[in-house]
Structure 1
């Protein structure tokens, strides 16, 4: 039996976007179950004293070049979002409220595409609603989740649990209890998932 892959992510992370699409291939090849876990990256940074890689100018320049290489290699469209860093609180609450729902993956696809292919400001409620509607989703129902006490509590709980497990950024995967940080470590994730 393959091992399950826990994927802790925030849609505001371009490397999480790249990982999301790479993980689909890993799941197909290994037969592993993917368990996506929405977390709030800003909450992780606050709890750990971390900061986005772009906070260091030289690291940010390198990271942009590196992400472009990975995207080209894997055939994934990766654009620049002029609104980056984007406040993802509403989006991540929405996804926390959708955990376990059949439409979860399609909503993640829509949010990632809006941010990292179309370069939209999804922190703007009107833009977010229009993007969800264009993606074929029930925008009012999804936006209602952003104010749901259960969704808020789940996102907070997911984020606190991630920090307690040693998470300091996104994307982070756990396979068979072992942590793998970054989309550039998915080869290790695939090996672990394959058992």
Structure 2
């Protein structure tokens, strides 16, 4: 019997495009019946390993391209009926604590509430989430036992897991965020979601034919 199709969403809370892409994933899951695995990676580590940089840096001083990116973002918001999104005025935010936190939250059985709260405080009601006091207050306001998660995030297994996720992603071809994997096929960027869904359906069809 063929193994179930593995579909992954690699994210870092510092990427606005990963935030926007994630909002479109539930509809893809509903249409395909396949659930995405959410894989935390440290985007700063990805950039360092690949010599890449954030769009905020790479587009600085370029005429017309940042403006076009803003138009594309507005089109994406309309296409997916996204109404709650604000650019973070403190961008770029160092996300090391946030990302260690989500690994720790997952180990503590708190992935979903932590994940939602982190994205909310980064891109819905944006805050300077690399400030330790702002970070703690934000998660407390969201009802999380954040001190428990902060303590867990200091453990070596959490730090090691985030490094392993990041190095593995780079080894598989990752250079930025958001990145998706459908089986071994890699896709980059929120605008690749249509191709991601098409590939999921194509691979499901192949699996079904093999097992028929």
TM range (shorter): over 0.9
The one of 16, 20, 23 aligned to 2:22: 20
Give the unaligned 5+ runs of structure 1.
Answer: none
Give the unaligned 5+ runs of structure 2.
Answer: 205-212
1:82-121 equivalent positions in 2, closer than 5 A = 82-99=89-106, 102-121=109-128
1:116-195 equivalent positions in 2, closer than 5 A = 116-194=123-201, 195=204
Cα distance in 2 for partners of 1:183, 1:23 equals: 10
Cα deviation, 1:42-71, whole Å, max 9, x if unaligned, reads: 100000000111212234443233223212
Q: Is residue 71 of structure 1 aligned with residue 73 of structure 2?
A: no
Cα distance in 2 for partners of 1:88, 1:134 equals: 19
Cα deviation, 1:153-175, whole Å, max 9, x if unaligned, reads: 00001000011111000110100
Deviation at 1:27? 1.1
Change (3 A) 1:89 1:31: same
TM-score scaled by length of structure 2? 0.86
Cα deviation, 1:129-170, whole Å, max 9, x if unaligned, reads: 111112121111122233121111000010000111110001
SS in 1 for 2:13: coil
Q: Partner residue of 2:210?
A: none
Cα distance in 2 for partners of 1:60, 1:140 equals: 39
CA contact (8 A) 1:9 1:38 kept: yes
Deviation at 1:9? 0.8
Count of equivalent residues: 195
Deviation at 1:98? 3.2
TM-score scaled by length of structure 1? 0.93
